[in-house]
With several copies, the nearest count.
Chain A
Amino acid sequence: MNEINDFKASVRAWLEANCPPSMRTPPPEGEMVLAGSRLTFTQPDQQLWFERMRDQGWFAPDWPREYGGGGLDARQTRVLESELARLKCRAPMVNLGIWMIGPVLLEFGSDEQKARHLPGMARGEVAWCQGFSEPGAGSDLAGLSCRAEHDGDDYVVNGSKIWTSYADRSDWMYALVRTDPTAGKHAGISMLLIDMASAGVSTRPIELISGKSHFCQVFFDNVRVPVANLVGAEGEGWMLAKALLAHERRAMSKFGDNNVPGVDFLDLARRLVAQADPDSRAVLTDRVAACAMDEHAYKLMLERTHEAGGAGQDVSALVATFKYLHSEQNKTRYRTLTALAGTDALGWEGEGYDEELLKLARQWLNAYTYTVAGGTSEIQLNILARRVLGLPDSGG
């Protein structure tokens, strides 16, 4: 116990000394540092914080030091995380490599793959993106049709991936591809690491109803990928993807909402309620209160999950509600504000609207994305009904 307390003290001291005060506030929109070969910083503190954490190996605190990690054990890692949270330190960078494919490579990758890819991730020097979803497959991930045909020492990849965040700024992609069209739906899938600089790769940003987005569609036209870039064995892609998605949920919960700064719900609601027409004010206030109570309840549920989980209770049923509740509550909150704001909520850009209200309109439209992306609300309800409530799976 003493050892861990010493560790905690040293972490706290280091963070106090090394995390610049300006990095202890939630980042404004678009101020996250994306890992990658073309790093950009909007201010010196950001770079300082990035480099200091990188040099500690704390981008990947629990990875072995040989791969550029921090070499911490699980307990030490938790201490570091809670100290970072306590000081409200910003995430020094965003990196799909470390959180997603990194752990999978650590567990399932070849020695060669580990040596080649992990250090770059751990130093934030390589930007990774995820190639899972496909146009036409939707929630049915395993229905993918992007083909990878064995040809000599290479696979030749043809097809398309969609909803790939920051594909246009990524160096590498981990992708699910169909290596055996004759095998079963799941059995024919493999996982490949694809260099985005390869000939035949092209990307196109997707415009959302809320405007420009970081989502892209990626096209593969006879892209040659060395067989050495196959993770695991042929046909193991689905198993690897499931292992990887378990990390996704952890990564999401670790970072919460920090990277989606919206409007301040209550602040804006108070201001708009005060301006509302007297006939509608009480009804709109009731809606605002319902949103606020739902959000309050959700926060209490997070706390309860944490506490009950810590006490050894099974909290998997609670965790299974998070994605659904979070995205649906978010949408309802923005719908409520939008109704409340009347014609002031109708601005797209330019003069005549204040900035907060322009942000509101975009965030309202953006909220529609979250009840679809990362497993639609319908999929979440299926999971709750079948896995949590134990109702029979009728395939519907």
Chain B
Amino acid sequence: MRFVLNEDQNMLRESAADFFAGRLPLAHQRKLKAQGLTHDADAWREMAELGWNAIALPEAVGGVPFDRSGVALVLAEAARTLAATPLFASNLLAAGLIEAAGSDAQKRDWLPALAAGDKLGALALDERARHDPTRIATRATREADGWRINGAKCAVVDGEFADLLLVVARDADTQDTLLFVLDAHTAGVSCQPLSQIDAQPMARVRLDGVKADEAALLARGAAADAALNTVLERARIALAAQLQAISRVLFDTTLAYLKQREQYGRKIGAFQALQHRMARLFTRIELAESCVQAAVAALDTDADLALPAALAKGMAGETALAVADEAVQLHGGIGVTDELDVGLFLKRVQVLEALLGDSVYQRARYARLIGVVA
């Protein structure tokens, strides 16, 4: 069953929905923002206590035996109240990479703290404003007792709260991909938190002559590429699930507004031009939903995730952009005020869309995957 959640999944989804509605409603996010905060540290602690940071990690290192789709389900619920969570960066990306690429010793060293939420991880990958995992200028030079790393990373989600940084570099000699796991407090690592339109955590990270010993090298060459690809596909699917959740919220909000708001003596939802726009959006949303559900289901299988991930992120991103545009426009004057939540969702959509490849990027990938171009 790809399109019907099982009982466990339903229970998790519901408890996540309750958590975010009760503990981190959108009004709470506004308060955090007014205080200059990007997240609620206590709530992150509580999420860890709920075991969410441990989802799909091996039980031997403190993981809980829940399918990986669980993370996507929780993230989707978080997106509905625009709550920041540590799951994307710490569970899916950082722990996911260590689990996929690390040695047993490395897993034992790092995963228990991540699973427990005692430490948080983040991935320092991209170096340019538009996602491109093939263009890595960060170089690691082999030294007598390890490696010396130099580079600059952008778009590091949760970077400023990470205790562990997963760093993608290239071997200065062989040009092989290298995956490092570094203590974020290592000398030479510097982190610049950014004030982003969605008020969620994002940072740039510099690596200036950072020293790493052999134990910090997770994987290299083909093994590193494979692990990174797998984890990025999972992350794209999780981003798609969040985009889709926001599309739903915005669509429902707008539909309700159209049924309630009157102009010229009638509900504006009675205007046929708006009806057709909403109906078209509805078809886009259901198409994207089908792709997202299939991709989330694929997380729990051994299937190659490239095609479902490109499809889901591409469709969900494009749809969310369109829905957010229409949501603002159809709310009219109040749609462009900060008072209404619609604008906050619009900004978050733009962030999620930009991460790990936007719709244009995903379409190009999809074209390659189905062999339209070589």
CB distance from A338 to the nearest CB of B (A): 7
Contact B192 A389 (CB under 8 A): no
Residue in contact with B364 in the complex, picked from A163, A283, A395, CB distance below 8 Å: A283
Contact A368 B329 (CB under 8 A): yes
Residue in contact with B346 in the complex, picked from A162, A209, A307, CB distance below 8 Å: A209
CB distance from B161 to the nearest CB of A (A): 16
The B contact surface, by secondary structure, is helix
Tell me the complex Cα distance, A369–B329, Å. Answer: 9
Contact B288 A297 (CB under 8 A): yes
Contact A280 B130 (CB under 8 A): yes
Q: Which of B46-54, B83-91, B225-233, B257-265 contacts A (4 or more CB under 8 A)?
A: B257-265
Contacts of B197 in A (CB 8 A): 346-348, 361, 365
The A contact surface, by secondary structure, is helix
Contacts of A395 in B (CB 8 A): 264, 266
**CB under 8 Å from chain A, chain B span 7-29:** none
Known: A289-B366, A297-B287, A365-B343. A339 touches B360 (CB 8 A): yes
Contact B259 A301 (CB under 8 A): no
Contact A270 B372 (CB under 8 A): yes
CB distance from A330 to the nearest CB of B (A): 13
Contact flags A307-348 to B (C-beta < 8 A → 1, else 0) = 110010100011001001100000000010011111111111
Closest CB pairs A-B (n = 5): A209-B343, A385-B275, A344-B129, A342-B130, A384-B279
Contacts of A386 in B (CB 8 A): 275
Contacts of A143 in B (CB 8 A): 263-264
**CB under 8 Å from chain B, chain A span 247-290:** 266, 269-270, 272-273, 275-277, 279-286, 288-290
Contacts of A210 in B (CB 8 A): 336
Given contacts A346-B351, A388-B279, 4 further A-B contacts (CB under 8 A): A277-B361, A343-B131, A389-B279, A391-B269
**CB under 8 Å from chain A, chain B span 312-335:** 314-315, 321, 325, 328-329, 332-335
Residue in contact with A381 in the complex, picked from B202, B279, B343, CB distance below 8 Å: B279
Interface range, A side: 35 or more
**CB under 8 Å from chain A, chain B span 91-136:** 126, 128-132, 135
Contact B135 A301 (CB under 8 A): no
B199 on interface, CB distance cutoff 8 Å: yes
Tell me the complex Cα distance, A209–B327, Å. Answer: 13
Contact A346 B282 (CB under 8 A): no
Contacts of B275 in A (CB 8 A): 381-382, 385-386, 389, 391
Contacts of B338 in A (CB 8 A): 207-209, 211
Contact B129 A273 (CB under 8 A): no
Interface centre among A162, A289, A296, A303 (most CB of B within 10 A): A289
Contact A293 B314 (CB under 8 A): yes
Task: Jot down 7 A-B pairs with beta carbons below 8 A, ordered by A.
Answer: A133-B333, A277-B132, A289-B366, A289-B367, A293-B315, A352-B194, A394-B266
CB distance from B299 to the nearest CB of A (A): 15
Tell me the complex Cα distance, A361–B276, Å. Answer: 30
Contacts of A273 in B (CB 8 A): 372-373
Contacts of B278 in A (CB 8 A): 385, 389, 391
Tell me the complex Cα distance, A292–B196, Å. Answer: 28
Contact A318 B336 (CB under 8 A): no
Contacts of B155 in A (CB 8 A): 343
A219 on interface, CB distance cutoff 8 Å: no
Contacts of A351 in B (CB 8 A): 192, 194
Contacts of B1 in A (CB 8 A): 307, 311
Contact A342 B329 (CB under 8 A): no
B267 on interface, CB distance cutoff 8 Å: yes
Q: Which of B62-70, B175-183, B216-224, B290-298 contacts A (4 or more CB under 8 A)?
A: B290-298
**CB under 8 Å from chain B, chain A span 125-180:** 133, 135, 138-140, 143, 162-163
Contact flags B358-370 to A (C-beta < 8 A → 1, else 0) = 1011011111001
Tell me the complex Cα distance, A270–B369, Å. Answer: 12
Residue in contact with B273 in the complex, picked from A211, A325, A381, A393, CB distance below 8 Å: A381
Contact B350 A139 (CB under 8 A): no
Contact A342 B129 (CB under 8 A): yes
Q: Which of A10-18, A62-70, A77-85, A371-379 contacts B (4 or more CB under 8 A)?
A: A371-379
Tell me the complex Cα distance, A388–B251, Å. Answer: 13
CB distance from A28 to the nearest CB of B (A): 23
Contacts of B372 in A (CB 8 A): 266, 269-270, 273, 285, 288-289, 292
Tell me the complex Cα distance, A340–B361, Å. Answer: 11
B347 on interface, CB distance cutoff 8 Å: yes
CB distance from A371 to the nearest CB of B (A): 6
B2 on interface, CB distance cutoff 8 Å: yes
Tell me the complex Cα distance, A341–B135, Å. Answer: 16
Contact A378 B287 (CB under 8 A): no
Tell me the complex Cα distance, A382–B269, Å. Answer: 12
Tell me the complex Cα distance, A296–B52, Å. Answer: 32
Contact B360 A280 (CB under 8 A): yes
CB distance from A367 to the nearest CB of B (A): 10
Tell me the complex Cα distance, A128–B197, Å. Answer: 34
CB distance from A151 to the nearest CB of B (A): 30
A199 on interface, CB distance cutoff 8 Å: no
Contact A289 B336 (CB under 8 A): no
Known: A297-B291, A325-B287, A381-B276. A342 touches B336 (CB 8 A): no
Known: A303-B2, A307-B2, A350-B195. A378 touches B370 (CB 8 A): no
Contact B337 A208 (CB under 8 A): yes
Contact A389 B255 (CB under 8 A): yes
B355 on interface, CB distance cutoff 8 Å: yes
Contact B255 A394 (CB under 8 A): no
